[in-house]
A and B are shown apart, each in its own frame.
Chain A
């Protein structure tokens, strides 16, 4: 008898729960990825937007990991239920643009009275043009820089990175900062933390005078086997394999380099602007940013994300209103203040919201100084798969599981089919 009562209660409970549907209304969803500290920036943005446009409510969807974000986005696009506004990197929107899943935003921008194309850095806008049509509105013009722990530099008596430092300077600093503090034969403090991936290697290739792909506009293969690219890869891999200034695979698995950096046990960490909110919150030491060291030439790599509007959205106008607001001076100022972005609006990038010397990193100007030398990876519908596979091979090179040439050649060989495969 008692069991039946429980069963009945459960069923009744079920019916009540399934009967509760969310209330309808002009509500849009906005999906972002990032660390908790980055999330705060978007929460502020949404709050400001809802105040300016009380008739629209925004549901913020937060996916912490980039890989999960990407799967989530793909699954949602297929399900036909993507968020109304999504943040997508320029390396990733190609697949969606190709299959018509994104609403071109050029026409919307042309009609806007709040923002226009010329307000933005052209370097950030161009990659988001698919067949000459602007698909998404870039939120930032972030690029790769070197975050460094000033305290560790001071302790080791190493001068801070100069704005024109070279690969040699960088390696020397890394070596001086790699230390076995308790003499137990195990390195406790590393000079460098860098991800073994194509997007990290690419700027070194450009600095050496090489190219990542044959034709930027219409690539057909990776070109990582040129003499210059090999030189760059040799240098890149040698950080781990020869000089051991970066953690070995075991050490990286035990504790990743970003955690080591935050915990004060790695002196220099390569990351884009997105690390700033987290480091402001969690790093208990003095830190700053430096430009990438120079090779033969100076080169940086674009890390721009943009607000995109999926064509499956049922609230396109409201979604555009949000995108427009987020990319207005007010919106970009809010997000920039969190430290998350290098604003894509020229005016905001040059304002105190970004350059405020009292906010870390003091040397934010580095990001703007890099812009004239910035390179972008190609936009291609299969780019993410290409990058993944290439990175898997580069990973082997970086951790000394194969020699440089083999890693590069396998990367080229394995990705070739993805350049042409028509899907």
Chain B
């Protein structure tokens, strides 16, 4: 009986084995290895040599590291609020089923489906100052038509602009969030004579608040990886480092310069920043009274 009960208790873990093993092998172990490599000089070939904090000192004095960090922060500051606002606006617009709502929702999600590489390429074309269709359109509207990807001041905003169309995930998540708000709340508000704006600020926004915060944190964290492909395909970090983001910096440090130690040191910092964000997030969520059942 005792052994049977124990096997019962252990059985669920059998089902979870691949997942837990995978997490161990693909996340925990790599993180641990980064932690070791970050303190060594390692060209990827031969043996790593322990060098203490030297890599971190190098990283600290490396101009490009700071450029990458600042660019990543600039990207986050521009892209995340705009993406969230965009997703929110669209979700509000299409939260109620209506005529052709399905078509509209599908259209909004469509750019998100385009593979990153193809998406980066098509934007390189759209933004091309001579061939692309964007600048003639801007000129027709009487707007300034910058050189986008070849202009240091506009390359980063150009990548932000491209990212604004891939907001399908946030859009769907906020649709779900809006569905979560009980109808009766709105009915009550209407009875009280609240106008649309009042309803929005008094009901929708507060109830959607946690979702918006979480979505933002997620977008911030993911921008550490989502900037790689556009930067790699569209600009290779240029012009003159204007789109040199952290992931590209790690990639180039490791595979161009073969300085795996330094790259691991940068990675470790990204990792730590992420962990901090996760912890903050976890506490926030708990503060909102998360309850499993």
Chain A residues at the B interface, C-beta cutoff of 8 Å:
67, 70-71, 74-75, 77-78, 95-96, 99-101, 249-255, 382, 384-385, 388, 392, 395-396, 401, 414, 423
Minimal Cβ-Cβ distance residue in A for B43: A99
- What is the bound-complex CA distance between A382 and B147, given in angstroms? 34
Stretch from B26-34, B70-78, B255-263 that touches the partner: B255-263
- Say yes or no: A101-B45 contact (C-beta < 8 A), given A74-B256, A95-B258: yes
Beta-carbon contact of A254 and B128 below 8 Å: yes
- Say yes or no: A78-B147 contact (C-beta < 8 A), given A71-B256, A254-B129, A255-B130: no
- What is the bound-complex CA distance between A255 and B43, given in angstroms? 37
Interface residues as binary, B143-161 with A (CB distance below 8 Å gives 1, 0 otherwise) = 0000101111000000000
Interface residues as binary, B56-87 with A (CB distance below 8 Å gives 1, 0 otherwise) = 00000001000000000000000000000000
- Say yes or no: A251-B130 contact (C-beta < 8 A), given A99-B45, A396-B240, A414-B63: yes
Minimal Cβ-Cβ distance residue in B for A312: B45
Beta-carbon contact of B255 and A401 below 8 Å: no
Beta-carbon contact of B150 and A423 below 8 Å: no
The reply to whether the CB of B241 lies closer than 8 angstroms to some CB of chain A is: yes
- Say yes or no: A254-B131 contact (C-beta < 8 A), given A74-B44, A78-B45, A99-B45: yes
Chain B residues at the A interface, C-beta cutoff of 8 Å:
41, 43-46, 63, 128-131, 147, 149-152, 236, 239-241, 255-260
Q: Which residues of B contact A253 (CB under 8 A)?
A: 128-129, 147, 149-150
- Say yes or no: A249-B147 contact (C-beta < 8 A), given A71-B256, A395-B240, A414-B63: yes
Residue from A70, A250, A414 within 8 A of B147 (CB atoms):
A250
Beta-carbon contact of B150 and A250 below 8 Å: yes
Q: With both chains docked as a complex, state the minimum distance between the C-beta of B104 and any C-beta of chain A, in angstroms.
A: 29
- What is the bound-complex CA distance between A253 and B127, given in angstroms? 10
Q: With both chains docked as a complex, state the minimum distance between the C-beta of B62 and any C-beta of chain A, in angstroms.
A: 9
- What is the bound-complex CA distance between A153 and B86, given in angstroms? 54
Beta-carbon contact of B45 and A385 below 8 Å: no
- What is the bound-complex CA distance between A28 and B13, given in angstroms? 45
- What is the bound-complex CA distance between A71 and B128, given in angstroms? 27
Q: Which residues of B contact A385 (CB under 8 A)?
A: 256-257
Minimal Cβ-Cβ distance residue in B for A392: B240
- What is the bound-complex CA distance between A77 and B254, given in angstroms? 12
Q: Which residues of B contact A384 (CB under 8 A)?
A: 256
Minimal Cβ-Cβ distance residue in A for B240: A396
Which of B131, B150, B258, B260 lies at the interface centre, i.e. has the most chain A CB atoms within 10 A of its CB? B258
Residue from B46, B150, B258 within 8 A of A74 (CB atoms):
B258
Supply 16 A–B pairs (Cβ within 8 Å), ascending by A: A67-B236, A74-B256, A78-B43, A78-B44, A78-B258, A99-B43, A99-B258, A249-B147, A250-B130, A251-B130, A254-B128, A382-B257, A385-B257, A388-B256, A392-B241, A423-B259
Minimal Cβ-Cβ distance residue in A for B152: A401
Q: Which residues of B contact A251 (CB under 8 A)?
A: 130
Beta-carbon contact of A74 and B128 below 8 Å: no
Q: Which residues of A contact B128 (CB under 8 A)?
A: 253-254
Q: Which residues of B contact A401 (CB under 8 A)?
A: 152, 240
Beta-carbon contact of B147 and A100 below 8 Å: no
- What is the bound-complex CA distance between A316 and B147, given in angstroms? 51
Known: A250-B130, A396-B240, A401-B240. 20 other contacts (CB 8 A): A71-B255, A74-B255, A74-B256, A77-B44, A78-B44, A78-B258, A78-B260, A95-B258, A100-B45, A101-B45, A249-B150, A249-B151, A250-B151, A253-B128, A254-B130, A382-B257, A385-B257, A414-B63, A423-B43, A423-B259
Q: Which residues of A contact B44 (CB under 8 A)?
A: 74, 77-78, 99
Which of A250, A255, A395, A414 lies at the interface centre, i.e. has the most chain B CB atoms within 10 A of its CB? A250
- What is the bound-complex CA distance between A77 and B260, given in angstroms? 13
Beta-carbon contact of B259 and A255 below 8 Å: no
Q: With both chains docked as a complex, state the minimum distance between the C-beta of A181 and any C-beta of chain B, in angstroms.
A: 15
What are the 10 A-B residue pairs with the smallest beta carbon separation, nearest first?
A: A78-B44, A254-B130, A253-B150, A99-B45, A71-B255, A250-B147, A249-B150, A99-B43, A74-B255, A101-B45
Minimal Cβ-Cβ distance residue in B for A401: B240
Q: Which residues of A contact B150 (CB under 8 A)?
A: 249-250, 252-253
Q: With both chains docked as a complex, state the minimum distance between the C-beta of B39 and any C-beta of chain A, in angstroms.
A: 15
Q: With both chains docked as a complex, state the minimum distance between the C-beta of A266 and any C-beta of chain B, in angstroms.
A: 15
Beta-carbon contact of B41 and A423 below 8 Å: yes
Q: With both chains docked as a complex, state the minimum distance between the C-beta of A52 and any C-beta of chain B, in angstroms.
A: 33
- What is the bound-complex CA distance between A423 and B258, given in angstroms? 9
Q: Which residues of B contact A71 (CB under 8 A)?
A: 255-256
Which of B45, B130, B149 lies at the interface centre, i.e. has the most chain A CB atoms within 10 A of its CB? B45
